[in-house]
């Protein structure tokens, strides 16, 4: 048996598989990444729950009350608790299970009598999976620009209000009016 021909045949077989499978693997990864970075209907519902656009069924507070995520489609949230941008990296699909019984005191108190339903947990998990997938292409939004613009507008309104009130002030003293009346009365006498 000619081992050189057998080895050449095996190496050609491996080379052809590598040439054929490499583009297929890249295509499969690209498809997986594209599906993760698309905002699915489930993730849209989770975004609405996170932001408070849709209220939780059992009446608990929306996530944005205490938490925030780095995403251009989401308004800046609370800074009381952790940033949840990479929460899916830490918990994975177990996040839905963790949401059934949160292990930190503020969340326990907030959701003690207002449990998150199974459907809401799955929607929030889909949203956090989407946020985690697109986090590298997003810009962090702390809300400071909104704070500065709102503060500037507030100062302008306050200054205009002060000017309006200042124009309605008493411009002459009552003592001056009395003195002028007395002077005119004195002129009439003499």
The predicted-structure confidence for 57-89, as pLDDT tens digits, reads as follows 988 888 888 888 888 888 777 778 888 888 888
- Residue 27 — pLDDT band, cuts 50, 70, 90? very low
Distances (CA, A) of 182 to 167, 175, 188: 28, 11, 10
Q: Answer yes or no: are the C-beta atoms of 67 and 84 closer than 8 Å.
A: yes
The predicted-structure confidence for 137-185, as pLDDT tens digits, reads as follows 877 666 667 778 888 999 999 999 999 998 888 777 788 888 888 888 7
The predicted-structure confidence for 31-60, as pLDDT tens digits, reads as follows 444 455 678 899 899 999 988 889 889 888
CATH class of 41-137: mainly alpha
Q: What is the pTM assigned to this prediction? A: 0.57
- What whole-number distance in Å separates Cα of residue 64 and Cα of residue 107? 13
Strand partners, 68: 83
Task: Examine the pLDDT at 20 and tell me if it is beyond 60.
Answer: no
């Amino acid at each position: 048996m000619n081992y050189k021909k057998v080895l050449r045949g095996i190496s050609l077989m491996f080379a052809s598989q590598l040439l054929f499978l490499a583009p297929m693997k890249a295509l499969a990864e690209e498809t997986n990444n594209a599906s993760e970075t698309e905002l699915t209907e489930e993730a849209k519902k989770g975004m609405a729950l996170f932001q408070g656009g849709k209220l939780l069924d059992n009446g608990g507070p929306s996530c944005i009350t205490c938490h925030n995520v780095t995403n251009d489609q989401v308004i800046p949230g609370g800074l009381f608790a952790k940033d949840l941008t990479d929460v899916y990296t830490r918990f994975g699909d177990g996040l839905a299970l963790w949401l059934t019984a949160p292990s930190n005191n503020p969340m326990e108190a907030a959701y003690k009598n207002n449990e998150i339903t199974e459907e809401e947990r799955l929607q929030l998990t889909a949203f956090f999976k989407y946020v985690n997938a697109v986090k590298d292409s997003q810009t962090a939004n702390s809300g400071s620009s909104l704070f500065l613009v709102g503060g500037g507008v507030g100062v302008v309104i306050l200054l205009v209000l002060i000017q309006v009130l200042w124009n309605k002030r008493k411009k002459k003293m009552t003592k001056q009016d009395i003195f002028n009346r007395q002077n005119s009365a004195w002129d009439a006498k003499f």
